[in-house]
Structure 1
Amino acid sequence: MRDRLEANQVFLYLAAILAGLAVGTHSPGRVGLLETLLWPLLALLLYVTFTQVPLVGLHRRLANARFLAAAVVGNFLVIPPIVWGLVQWLPVDPALRFGVLLVLLVPCTDWFLSFTHLGGGDTSAAIAFTPLSLLLQLALLPLYLWLFLGQTALAGVIQRELLEAFGGLILLPLMAAFLSERWAERAPGRRWLIERLGWLPVPLLALVLFAVAAGQVETVTGSLGLLGWLLPVFLGFLVAAALLAWLLARAFRLPVAQGRVLAFSFGSRNSFVVLPLALALPAGFEAAVVVVVLQSLVELFGMLVFLRLVPRWLFPDLPGG
């Protein structure tokens, strides 16, 4: 039954997104509650995802410099110039370009772990990369914005938001999952809890997608004029991310499961973390909020495609594997 649930997860996610768009359109009064629940849902989603990874003794299995090097090179050396090139397609509007750079320059550190798990990737390697990714984002995002747009005033705000995301969305769920696994190991009859939690990543991710879609309908419908400019940029980014993952996995001679991690890491961006940054921007930068919201919705559909494309075509299981 669980195998069937995971095999049909893409259809469940698509239904959740469509239902969220419908609720956001016809019952806007309920959107506030859904937006309030989004962060706890994300934290719970990561907790149950982490419980499906053997965290006890994890450090002994993560001495993989080649994977970490590939993830760092792709996310922080190759993708920024790609994003800068895509931005040249846009009109010369500082708010519009700032929003695209803000949302595409840094990789996701939350739900990409769940997509990696559901897509058959090496979740242990993905977890190992997460703290390194956050540290590099803290250091490099202000630098990128300065290089590409000359923006330095938001550096402190950006760093504070990233630190809060790391503590609330990564560190606490990770510690809770580790303690849960230690508790389960102390008695044979406790393992059932971890096994039962394995049913939850798919429905919880569906709830997250439902909440995001419902909460952003008004922003999207009020900004359809920008979609013609932004959609090619976001779709082009997803295509470039998939190709880059394939190339770097071959260049660094990574196993299939770690190649899948690269694909989900390169393709997903930190939209949930940078959205509060966009909302805090001064007057005249309202378009940046629209950009982040539209990117997150395009990414939702893109990750559904990745769940099919990555394990079946981009990084299929080896014969006899």
Structure 2
Amino acid sequence: MLSTGPTDRDPAREELLPGRIAPLLAAAVVVGSGIGILLPGLGQQAGRLLPPTVLLLVTALFFEARLDLRGALRAWRVVGPAWSVNFGLVPVLAYVISSTFVGRELAAMLGLFIYFAAPCTDWFLGFTRIAGGNIVAGSVLLPINMVTQLAAYPLMLSIFFGHRSGRVPDVGFTVLIWFALPFVAARLGRMVAASTSASLQARLTRRAGRLVPWVITALIIEIFGANAQTILAHFRIFIWCLVAVFSFFVIIFFIGELVGRACRLDRGDQVLLTMTTSARNAPLMLAITTVAIPGEPLTYAAIVIGMLIEFPHLVAVSTLLRRRGSVHRVVVRRMI
């Protein structure tokens, strides 16, 4: 997701919210599936709400974002390796893992690839703070990740799936229309709020951030409500999706460790590298995909499955890194 930066949001809320959102999203899957199976007519009605819900989500994400590219040169030591892994190595790994586990089902494979290939631009900063990482460099990395992944979305689909999907040429135009307009509206809204008072801008930004999880929840209910029958018919595929997501997180954790050591990063930068390569940008990718590649419920469901696993994974990784840092500090004190 998009970053508000460390000054736009209550730090305590930023750290607690990711821990709460996984059960909320899981409940949305259950509720949406129940509606689609027991009340299919209502599920189809819910599906018609997808376009306005996507617009609301994207506008809230962009309003919440703090775009400040200054400082990138000072943070190059960690920003460079993190960007290279996220947009150079990860897409290749994403294709290999998704094709290995669900390669026979193009729609699910596409969803996993999209989920894997987009680095998070919000939640991971809170987890980086919890683990004692470099959040200053992290705030520099966030807008870079955001701009790169939006620009790379149609390009990556064309490179990896262009020969298998006839819809790819239309993706770039769709992304431009559906995301350029909300971006402009959100930035104008921030400018108007800032011209009134800084406190008003901060207050509206916090409220946009609090709104995002609930809009994501509504989007998931609508997707599963409208497509529960199709998703249920392919349930076995999603077992393999779970295995694929777990495998991705294990592999990328060790890649982050190896790259950090090869680049001789200090502990704070190493934590940042690990968290930014572990966290994915499922909300924005889900929004993009529902409008750029319409009528593919298996693709959307695969992205949601990745999101459900991601938050427990980030909690585990941040806890591990925090404990490792505590041990390191104790050893240093004894040496002194």
CA distance change for structure 1 residues 37 and 279 in 2, over 3 Å: closer, same or farther?
closer
Q: What is the Cα deviation at residue 315 of structure 1?
A: 6.6
- Between the aligned partners of 1:255 and 1:171, the Cα distance in structure 2 is 38
Q: 2:106 pairs with 95, 101, 113, which one?
A: 95
| Unmatched 5+ stretches in structure 1 | 185-189, 281-288
CA distance change for structure 1 residues 152 and 10 in 2, over 3 Å: closer, same or farther?
closer
Mapped pair 1:135 → 2:151? yes
- Please tell me whether the aligned partners of residues 79 and 105 of structure 1 are also in contact (alpha carbons under 8 angstroms): yes
CA distance change for structure 1 residues 159 and 182 in 2, over 3 Å: closer, same or farther?
same
- Between the aligned partners of 1:92 and 1:129, the Cα distance in structure 2 is 27
Give the AA of the match of 1:242: F
CA distance change for structure 1 residues 303 and 83 in 2, over 3 Å: closer, same or farther?
closer
Which structure 2 residues correspond to residues 107-256 of structure 1 after superposition, within 5 A? 107=118, 112-119=120-127, 120=129, 121=135, 122-145=138-161, 150-151=163-164, 153-164=166-177, 166-168=179-181, 170=183, 172-174=185-187, 176-177=189-190, 179-180=191-192, 182-183=194-195, 190-197=197-204, 199-200=206-207, 203-217=210-224, 218=228, 219-252=230-263, 253=265, 256=268
- Between the aligned partners of 2:157 and 2:291, the Cα distance in structure 1 is 15
Q: What is the Cα deviation at residue 228 of structure 1?
A: 2.6
Give the AA of the match of 1:79: V
Q: What is the Cα deviation at residue 127 of structure 1?
A: 0.7
Q: 1:62 pairs with 60, 67, 72, which one?
A: 72
Report the TM-score when normalising by structure 2: 0.69
Q: What is the Cα deviation at residue 48 of structure 1?
A: 4.5
- Between the aligned partners of 1:59 and 1:312, the Cα distance in structure 2 is 29
Aligned to 2:85: 74
- Please tell me whether the aligned partners of residues 49 and 222 of structure 2 are also in contact (alpha carbons under 8 angstroms): yes
Aligned to 1:286: none
Report the TM-score when normalising by structure 1: 0.72
Aligned to 2:46: 31
| Unmatched 5+ stretches in structure 2 | 1-9, 130-134, 331-336
CA distance change for structure 1 residues 80 and 308 in 2, over 3 Å: closer, same or farther?
same
Aligned to 2:7: none
CA distance change for structure 1 residues 203 and 34 in 2, over 3 Å: closer, same or farther?
farther
- Between the aligned partners of 1:17 and 1:251, the Cα distance in structure 2 is 37
Q: 1:273 pairs with 288, 301, 309, which one?
A: 288
Q: What is the Cα deviation at residue 39 of structure 1?
A: 1.8
- Between the aligned partners of 1:80 and 1:276, the Cα distance in structure 2 is 22
Give the AA of the match of 1:239: V
Q: What is the Cα deviation at residue 15 of structure 1?
A: 4.2
**Percent of aligned positions that are identical:** 14
Number of residue-to-residue matches in the alignment? 295
Give the AA of the match of 2:143: I
- Please tell me whether the aligned partners of residues 47 and 222 of structure 2 are also in contact (alpha carbons under 8 angstroms): yes
CA distance change for structure 1 residues 59 and 9 in 2, over 3 Å: closer, same or farther?
closer
| Greater Cα offset, 252-261 or 156-165 | 252-261
- Between the aligned partners of 2:180 and 2:121, the Cα distance in structure 1 is 16
Give the AA of the match of 2:85: G
